[in-house]
Amino acid sequence: MPVRLSPEETLPILQVKVSDLAPLTLVAGDPARVERIAALLENPRRIGANREYVTYTGTYRGTPVNVCSHGVGSAGAGVAFEELCRAGVTRIVRVGTAGGLQPDVLDGSIVVATGAVRADGLSQRMVPLGFPAVADLDVTVALRAAAAKSGVDVHTGIVLTADNFYPSPVLENDQRMWQTVGVVAVEMEVATLLTVAAINGVQAGAVVAIDGNPLANEDESMAEYQPFRDVVDTAVNAAILAGLEALIS
């Protein structure tokens, strides 16, 4: 059975008091991005900071919400997701960045994830590989509707969640295989979120901004990867707003 903590307890890694958390949480890998999102809230208040995990609470258009960073990769992110679930949150939406895999999923577009390939390490330690990592339907529909109003190119589909950011110089890169079967983007945490949320009976979804496409750019080594560009920043803004709107829908 899922673990639930009492309101007076403090989450041991996030270092957040359970009673300080609202039921709705937006998560992002980068603590700096959490600060950026918190600036969009009414009456934002930092309620926790430990390691890579920074947590704010506030309201968005009058609805209480949290924003929490989870770092890079499945293992550390899974700690944040599990503790949020143990605190009793009911909906988690991830906002992040990803690399495009399809030829038309290019820098500056955003992807709403319908599910994820579980190539992460953590979810395989939690449930058998036959268990699908599927986004909540209501969250996905809300993300798609909000993203459609953003003015940027929007794609919907399955993402690949992998534990390696840079490709191995030894083992073969499998991204072209996943491209062949229609996977739209690659990132590092969505499958973990969807699996942890499903186990805990929590709604979850994800929207990611595309900051490169190693296959379309013929840069599979990622030697020319540079995410800090205006076109990417515009897409990140669109993803953040879509995430907030879907969170409170």
Residues taking part in catalysis: 211
Contacts of 39 (CB under 8 A, 6+ apart): none
196 within 8 A of 153, measured Cβ to Cβ: no
155-171 burial code (b ≥16 CB/10 A, e <16): bbbbbbbbeeeebeeee
CA distance 91 to 247: 7
CA distance 61 to 42: 8
CA distance 209 to 203: 21
